[in-house]
Structures are given as C-alpha cells and as structure tokens.
Amino acid sequence: MGKADFLSPKAIANRIKSKGLQKLRWYCQMCQKQCRDENGFKCHCMSESHQRQLLLASEDPNKFMDYFSDEFKSDFLELLSRRFGTKRVHNNIVYNEYISDREHVHMNSTQWETLTDFTKWLGREGFCKVDETPKGWYVQYIDRDPETIRRQEEQARKKKQDLDDEERSAKFIEEQVRRGRDGKEPEETPVYTELKRESEEEKIAFNLGASSCVAGPSKSSSALGASALKAAASSSSSSTKRKDTSSSSDSRSDKKKKSALEEIIEMEERKKKKQQQVRTDYWLQPNIVVKVVTKRLGDRYHKKKAVVTEVRDKYAAVVKIIDSGDKLKLDQNHVETVIPAPGKRVLILNGPYRDTEAVLEGIDEKNFSATLTLDSGKEKGKRVDIAYEDFSKLA
C-alpha cells in the first residue's frame, strides 16, 4: 500500500494522532518509541534495534533504572517549583501536567511503582513537605536556592534591626520618665485616725475659720442646731474649694507630666524621621570595593571583587574587576558591599554618617552589624554600630 498524500484525510489523521498521548502499554522506554496499536508494538519488539537495546540493558539494568529515575525526579521537581512555587498542591495535579509532555519519562521505568511511593520518597529525602488527607496526598516544594535563602535572611535581619530600634527608643523613654520622677520629692499621703473622747464630760469644739461654736449643756438646742447648720455649710463650701484646688493642681501636674512625655516622644519621632530622611535607596560611591553577585554574566565574574571607578545616575556604576582588570557596567542590585578584616579602613555609604571614612573595630555576627570608629568629619573618634550593607571596604 502506498503512502498517503500530505493533504489527504489519512495523512492529517496520522499527524493528529502522533501529536497526542498514546496508550502507555504500547510505549517502549528503552527505545523511547510510542506505538499506536498492538500490532505496531509487536513489530517494534521484534526489530533489531529493540533487541540491541535489550542486550545493553541486561548488562547493567540498575544503571538504566537510576538514569530514568533521576530524570523523572528532576523534571517533576522543576515543574513543581516553576509552576506552583512553594504552594501546597495535590500531587495528582502536578503529575497530570507532567505527563502532558509527550517526551516525558514514564513512571513504570523508574524505581517507584506508584505516585504515592514517589510522593513519600520526596518527603523522606527532604525535597518537599508532604501530608496525607482524605482527598489524597499533597506536596509543597522546599526552595533551597542560595539566593532565596539570602533574601529571606536579609528580610529577617532588617525586621530584627527595626525591632531593636523600637526597643532602644522605648528604653530611652522609660529612662527619661524615671529620671523625671527621681528629681521630685515623694508626696506625703494623709493619715486618717479615729475620733476618740477620753471622758464623757469633756467638751468637743469645732474651729471652722472665723466662726466657731462650742457644744455644751449651757446652750439651747435651737442655737446649737443653727450653728451646726452654718458649720456644715461652711465646711462643705471650704471642702469643695479645697477639692477644686487639689483637682486643678492634680490636673495641672498631670498635664505637665503628659506634656513632658509627649515632648520626649516627639523628639524621638523627629530623630527617627531625620534618620529616615538621611537614608536613601542608592548607596554606590567611587573608590570602594564591591562583590559581583549576579549570575547573568556567568561564572567568570560571579563572586568576584571589583573597585567602583565611576557612579552613573546614582544606581549604576562602572567597576573594574580586581583579578582580570575587566571593566563592567552594573546596577547596584548586581553587587554587594565587602566587609574587610578588623583594622582596615571603610567608607559609610548610608545613614546619618554617610560619606564618612572609618576604621573597622569589630564584627557582631548575631546582629549583622560592625563597630566602626569614625576617622573623618565633626565626630571624629566616635564609635558607632553600622549594618553590613551600610559600609564597604575602601580601595
């Protein structure tokens, strides 16, 4: 039978069939050949090329199985990381997208018999976080890329640094309030005692300012009642005045205390705003040593140290590689600062001490900062703590 023409219905149907997936039982992994039906697969198994592949596989079967297993694992993880990232997803969804590729490695040629066994193996080896639910197995990719880990550590370090600044501000405010309280004399609290009479015949006298009355058996009850009413009225008015005076004085003192506290808070806010204004999102300076961190230029320049010879548009710089002498134009995101050994000179690139030369005294690895002694400017000789990204080695 002759071959069908290119535009004939049979030729078009054959091309459509060859594009899509076929039955797995008619696929030969050793030869990587997909047959369309049982007769084609039978003919392929009887062919000379298939027999040669079987002889090669019989010499070292584990070698071929390990090769197919590694390829299946790497392709599966690459699809999981690129398509779903670090999201939690059902393993069958990932597998269906994986087998949609016609040239994929089939699982029956690997060391895993089922998708569940492969999912459990990923969890044991630490490639993914796996958990079983009534709906099936779910996987979550664990990103171990050094660049991703570095970004996460940098974010955690900046968050910790912000918290440390807030704690220092709170301690400073508490110290100011404590000093303000220590400067004042403690207020004496009044002591109230019970009114006691030594004898029954003793007279009781109440002195209420200008008017006074003495209670005794010589005066009539009406006069005593009238004087008692006047005394009660005068005492209530005087107590009201005293209460108003004391309340007004307390309110004034509270207002003074509150205003002093507010002044301290405002001073700290102004100080923080000033520091934020001093900080900028660009930090490149000429004559400093930086390290190339981008991988786009290849391994030839990756992690190589260079000297900034020129700064362009604040965010780009022309650098000269120290080892080879090559000149490159790089963005500030493609380089990072270099921390020298203690005793070396550095340049502060950001913050309130920007453009100030200093000497590195020590490194605090826990707080990702270093202690510097200022070597120029008005505050020469002062010791300050500066974060790693805010200073770099001088060329």
Q: 327-353 pLDDT, tens per residue?
A: 888 988 899 999 998 999 999 998 888
What pLDDT, on a 0 to 100 scale, did the predictor assign at position 214? 43
What pLDDT, on a 0 to 100 scale, did the predictor assign at position 83? 85
Residue the block writes with tokens 């000033």: 274
What pLDDT, on a 0 to 100 scale, did the predictor assign at position 346? 94
Per the model's pLDDT, the better-predicted residue between 241 and 193 turns out to be 193
What pLDDT, on a 0 to 100 scale, did the predictor assign at position 395? 85
Average pLDDT over residues 25-41: 72
Closest listed residue to residue 106, CA positions, set 82, 72, 56, 63: 72
What pLDDT, on a 0 to 100 scale, did the predictor assign at position 212? 43
What pLDDT, on a 0 to 100 scale, did the predictor assign at position 84? 86
What pLDDT, on a 0 to 100 scale, did the predictor assign at position 155? 81
Closest listed residue to residue 26, CA positions, set 106, 100, 94: 106
Helix segments in the chain, DSSP class H = 9-19, 38-45, 48-59, 61-83, 91-99, 115-125, 146-182, 221-278
Q: Which residues contact 308 (CB under 8 A, 6 or more apart)?
A: 284, 285, 286, 287, 288, 289, 290, 317, 318, 319, 395
pTM of full prediction above 0.75: no
Q: How sure is the predictor about 223, in pLDDT bands with cuts at 50, 70 and 90? A: very low
Alpha-carbon distance of 231 to 104, in angstroms, equals 106
Average pLDDT over residues 54-80: 81
Per the model's pLDDT, the better-predicted residue between 13 and 289 turns out to be 289
Most confident of 78-87, 104-113, 272-281: 78-87
pLDDT tens figures, 77-86: 888 888 888 8
Percent of the chain with pLDDT over 70: 73
Q: How are beta strands 345-348 and 357-364 bridged, if at all?
A: antiparallel
Q: Can you read off the two tokens belonging to residue 127?
A: 């490639």
pLDDT tens figures, 146-197: 777 777 778 888 877 777 777 778 888 888 888 877 765 555 566 667 666 6
Amino acid of residue 15 = R
What pLDDT, on a 0 to 100 scale, did the predictor assign at position 203? 66
What pLDDT, on a 0 to 100 scale, did the predictor assign at position 51? 77
